[in-house]
Each structure stands twice: as structure tokens, then as C-alpha cells.
Structure 1
Amino acid sequence: MRALVDGRFSWDSAGEVTGLGREGLVRCREELLAHHLLQPTSADDGPLLPVNPELAAARLAEPLEQTIRSYRTAVDNTRERLLQLMPAYLGRSVSGPVSGGLEIVTDPAEVQLMIDQYVSKCSRDLMTMQPGGKRDPATLQRSLPNDYAMAQRGVRVRMIYQHTTRTQLSMRSYVNAMAEAGAEVRTADQLAERMFIVDREVAFIPKRAQPDQPPGAVVVREPVLVSFLCALFDQFWITSQPFHAEGPGYQNVSDDLKRSLLELLAQGLKDEVVARRLGMSVRTCRRHIASLMQELGAESRFEAGVRAAQLGLLRRDGVEE
């Protein structure tokens, strides 16, 4: 800061401000030179002049950026060479032959890699449907820069989550940022399986070998099937509610959530199943159930379902389901 005031580096001024001795001042000067925040004049014995930090950062980062560019070029060249083998690969999948524009990938890591690659190249339209409750904050933070950039470059991004994500602070922060970039985010009480559709040309849907195992994926490229999945997404989109991150957690959806809870209870489903359908923990689900029973003055879940039906609480848009 003293060099900025004086317009040059001065041993006396620096010593007066910092209180350092000659050895300490030498270390400071060398540190400033190493970070390009001081530069010599054209004269060999001229003074050291302060440098704009933005220019210093550019000079300091240039070697690293050159290295990054060289690695990026190498990656692109490698990808281009390997993608030349795609016609042969599509004749087989990880789990066997492929037919009808379907590819089965069993390794979750490979699934995520494929999704990331397709999403990074998305140019027109991205639709995602992600059931479940709380999202991993680290994953949201990691994916935000690429998702934000994609929305800003003009891709129409539409995302559907479940109502229960509205109370998560990291999710609300993510949604707020994505909305600023032009993305549209909605929530619904219940969703089908996880789904990604890229440019209405390729879709990813889960494939589970066992209920408790991480899912692989079925990669769908057949146009008729992709069109069907787009129509399915649109149906969920129409009935879902806009997610406005600046509002209270369950704004505009509390009645929808209560009604869904009552409908599932009326079906006689167990708490674990109800919680999974609504994307919440079993403990939270039971708390909502207890609150509803108290609100309805019911002593049993069956009685709560009967009273809800009598009061017309299981109706949507005036039509009883």
C-alpha cells in the first residue's frame, strides 16, 4: 500500500510503515516481485513501480493457463480419437448387445461421466427430474458453475425436484443462482424415477440390479422412446409448482403436500413407503402425520383418511381421485 502512495518502492517508507528490518523488507520485496506486484523500470538501476493487481494476476496465471490449455487440447484430441470408435461400441453395451437405440451401463461412475459429457455439450434443451429429499450440498456446489454457464448460454433448463427440497438452504441457494441464469425450477409432491433428457435426443433413466444397489442407467437414443419420455416430463412439469427460492420453505405447496400425505395414508401404505414417495425422512414423515391427525381430530390413521375424504381434502381441482 505504501508503494501505491509513493508511486514506487522505497526502503525508507516501507521500513517506516512496517517496522521491519532490512532482512524482512528484502523478503517482502522479493514476494511482491514474485507475484508481479512490483516491476522494474526500463533503466537497470531504476525504481520498482507498483503494478495493477489485475495485470499481475494475468501475468502470474499465464503459465498455468498455458498448461491448462495444452491439457485441454490433449483431452479434446483423445476424446475425438476415441469417439471415432462409437459406431463399433454401440453394437455392444456393458451388459451385452444393444438393440432399438438402447444402451445399458451398469457402472454408476461411468453413468455420471456420460451424463456430464452430454450435459456439457447440451445446446438447446435440458430436462431433469430428480426425486428424493435433501440434496448433497457438495454436489450442488460442484455442479453449479457448469449448470449456471449452460443456462446463461441460452439452453432452456427445466428441473423438477420434490417439495421437501424447499427447506434446504443449500438447495435454495442453488435454485436462486440458477434462476438468475434463466433456468426454471419446480417441485412436485411425488415424482417418477430420476431422468435426464438432453436436447430431446438422448435420455438417461435408472437401471437397478438390486433395490439397495446404486443404479446403472439405460441410455435411450431411439427417437420414439425419447419423445415419450419428454411427454412424461411435460406432464409432471404442468402439475408441479414453481420454486421461488426467496419465499418461505413450503410456500404454495403445503396444501399439496398435506393432500398427498393423506392420499398415501388412505392407501394403507407404511410410513417408510410414504416417506420415500414424498422424499422425506421417516421421522419427518411421522411428525407430519401426527400433525395432520391432530388437525383432523382423528385418533387413528384410518379415521384421518375417512375424515379427509368427508371434508373433500382428497380432491384436486374439484375432482375426487
Structure 2
Amino acid sequence: MLGGVAAEVYEYALRNGTFKDEEIAGRLGVDVQLISEAREALQDLRLLAVSANGRVVAALDPDIAEAELVTPLELSIAQRRREIAGIHQELRVLSEVYRSRARSTDDDVPIRVLDDFEDVRREIDLARRRCTEERISLQPGGGRSAELLEQDLLQTLEMRKRGIRIRTLYQNTARASLATRTYVRQICAQGAEVRTAEELSERLIIYDRKFAFIPKERTGKKPPGAALVTDPTVVAYLCRSFESIWQASQPFEIGRTAEYQQITEDLRVSITRLMAKGLKDEGIARRLGMATRTCRRHISAIMEEVGATSRFQAGLLLAQQGLIPDTSAVPANPDSGEVADS
């Protein structure tokens, strides 16, 4: 509201003790309309005193104007805080009653299958709020949507403020997503840890090494349900599996061109390795967490580079040149199972 003209107008009125639009416009060499707009802005900010007949009579102290403007907002905020505290206090008693009954029915159920996604979301929200030490998660596939990342950003930053350790594993292909790179930069700046691996099996979230969420298989467009696992043996096994992948993964570092190029080369090697095994395009894309169309684009470029007429042949040629490992894994019959047509 206080642009350059408004600030000059306020200074003039303060220095001269008068305020006439035409006079000030002439002194400052600007259009009178700009002076009129500046006057209205200064009045809205309580910086000009106006007489009963609407004439500006004096410039006012900004400290007093600030108090007049801020005090009602502070009172409103204080009122909202009292309302929030009241809601917490009223519901906390009933929450304890509900949880005590839920514990009595769920303690003997080490695995609860939640078919409705809203039930899953509520349980995850509860686990997040009660989390005191660590959240670890596997996020297979490529980059996530900006909407999901924006929501998770607020939750992750809130957990970091409480001192909770955050560790997340993505697949290498997630590095190509601008939204994911932006999200990773923001949470890592607050102490979160993010790494990537070539292949990840399923999505997994574990809170405090006590509550593990494993999604059900997606059967349509709706988000799937999930299994909430609390059995200590199973959760410990899932944590050990996460640690194994974590140790073999690479840090998700932002802004390093050389490292990004290395990831691109690693992706190329991963594709050719799976081609040598005879997997179809869809199978390769699924294993590496990328779109099938993108995968086919990479495959076409690789085949053209080595002069191959089939994916299987390209894999063999690259293996013979020593560009990919594990040639012993090439199946004898590439036309069976999940292998590609020649």
C-alpha cells in the first residue's frame, strides 16, 4: 500500500503540516490522481488525521497507527487460540475413552486391514501426531504429484520441528521430477534425509518402528486401503529391509549436474540390464518406476545406438561389450513369461 509516491506524500504532509492534492502534485511533479490514491492509502493505514468535513489536517505517528491496526487482529488471534484450546480440552477426554476401548479390541490384532482410504488416512494422521522418534518410508515409482508433495511438505516440516527423524527412499527416476526435487530441497534444508535406489518393491510407511502401513493392491482409480501392522516381529523385519536398501542407496542431492548425469547413466544401465533379461517394456517401466512411454523412448535410443533390431538383442550386445553386468541372468527362452518379443 505504501509505494514510492505514498511515502513521499506522507513525508511532505508531515513536513508542511498541510495536505492539498493539487499542491502536493505540483510540488512532486506527479499526476493529481496518484496523489489522491496515495492519500486514500495513507488514510486506510491511519497515517492521516481527517476533520469532520473530510479535510486532512495532520500526519499521524506510525507507531500509533500500527497499534490501532494490529490490536484488533491480535485480539482476534487470541480469541481463536482460546477456541482451539477449548476444543482440545473437550475432545481430549473423549479421545482417551475411545482409545482405551480401541486398544482393548485391537491389542490382539497384529494386522488390521483397512479397506477404506479415509480410514487409512485417519490412522496415518494419528500415527504422525503421536510419533516421537522417526518416520521412514519407501516411495516407489517416479516423481509424485505436486499436490501430494505440498500436503506432505507441511506435515514433514511439522514433524521436523518436533525433532523427529525423517528418512525417505525414492527410486532414481524421481530425480527427473522438478516437483520432487523442489520438495526434497525444502525438507532436506530442515534436516530430513532422502535417498534413491534403482528398484523399490512397494510403498511403505513406518512410524517409531511400531506402526507400519502397507497399501493394498490398487484395483481402480480410487486410492487403495492398507494394512496397519503392529506385530513387533513383522515391523522389525520391515525395518531391517528398509535399512538394507537405505545402506545401498544414493543420497538425493540437489543441483549437481554431474551427479544428475550419473543417475541418467545408471538408469540407462538399469534398462539395458532388464532388456538383457528379456523383460517387456511394461515390465521394465514398472520395475524402474517410470512411465511406459518414457521407458520406450529410452529403449529406442539404446537400440539405435547399438544397432539392434530387438530389445533382447540390444541387451546381449551391450552385455558382450561389458557395458552391463550379470549376463548369466539372460533367460534361454526370451519368449516365455515376462520377456519381450524379438
Q: Which TM-score tier does this pair reach, normalised by the shorter chain? A: 0.7 to 0.9
Check conservation: 1:38, 1:51, Cα contact below 8 A.
no
Residue 299 of structure 2 is matched in structure 1 by 289
Check conservation: 2:48, 2:58, Cα contact below 8 A.
no
Comparing 241-250 and 172-181, the one that deviates more: 241-250
Unaligned runs of 5+ in 2: 1-6, 26-30, 51-56, 330-342
Check conservation: 1:208, 1:214, Cα contact below 8 A.
no
Residue 11 of structure 2 is matched in structure 1 by 5
Q: Larger Cα Rg: Structure 1 or Structure 2?
A: 2
The total of aligned residue pairs comes to 308
Q: Aligned partners of 2:49 and 2:110: how far apart in 1? A: 61
Q: Aligned partners of 2:71 and 2:323: how far apart in 1? A: 66
**Equivalent of residue 148 in structure 1, options 151, 157, 166:** 157
Q: Aligned partners of 1:134 and 1:51: how far apart in 2? A: 49
RMSD: 3.5
Comparing 143-152 and 270-279, the one that deviates more: 143-152
Q: Give the TM-score taking structure 2 as reference length.
A: 0.76
Cα distance, 1:69–1:285 mapped onto 2, change above 3 Å: same
Q: Say whether residues 1:310 and 2:308 are aligned partners.
A: no
User: Secondary structure at the residue paired with 1:85?
Assistant: helix
Unaligned runs of 5+ in 1: none
Q: Aligned partners of 2:87 and 2:272: how far apart in 1? A: 53
Cα distance, 1:71–1:290 mapped onto 2, change above 3 Å: farther
Q: Aligned partners of 2:146 and 2:101: how far apart in 1? A: 39
Counterpart amino acid of residue 89 in structure 1? A
Residue 19 of structure 1 is matched in structure 2 by 32
Q: Say whether residues 1:182 and 2:191 are aligned partners.
A: yes
Alignment of 1:40-55 (within 5 A): 48-51=60-63
TM-superposed CA distance for 1:236, in Å, is 1.4
Q: Say whether residues 1:84 and 2:97 are aligned partners.
A: yes
**Equivalent of residue 280 in structure 2, options 255, 261, 270:** 270
Alignment of 1:1-321 (within 5 A): 1-2=7-8, 5=11, 12=19, 16=24, 19=32, 27-33=40-46, 48-51=60-63, 58-59=70-71, 61-77=73-89, 79-80=91-92, 81-90=94-103, 99-208=108-217, 210=219, 213-248=222-257, 250-315=260-325
Q: Aligned partners of 1:78 and 1:320: how far apart in 2? A: 66
User: Secondary structure at the residue paired with 1:315?
Assistant: coil
Q: Aligned partners of 1:22 and 1:258: how far apart in 2? A: 64
Deviations 1:272-295 (A, max 9, x none): 232122121111100111122223
Q: Aligned partners of 2:254 and 2:121: how far apart in 1? A: 27
Q: Aligned partners of 1:238 and 1:101: how far apart in 2? A: 28
Deviations 1:194-233 (A, max 9, x none): 1111121211111237366521111122222211111111
Q: Give the TM-score taking structure 1 as reference length.
A: 0.80
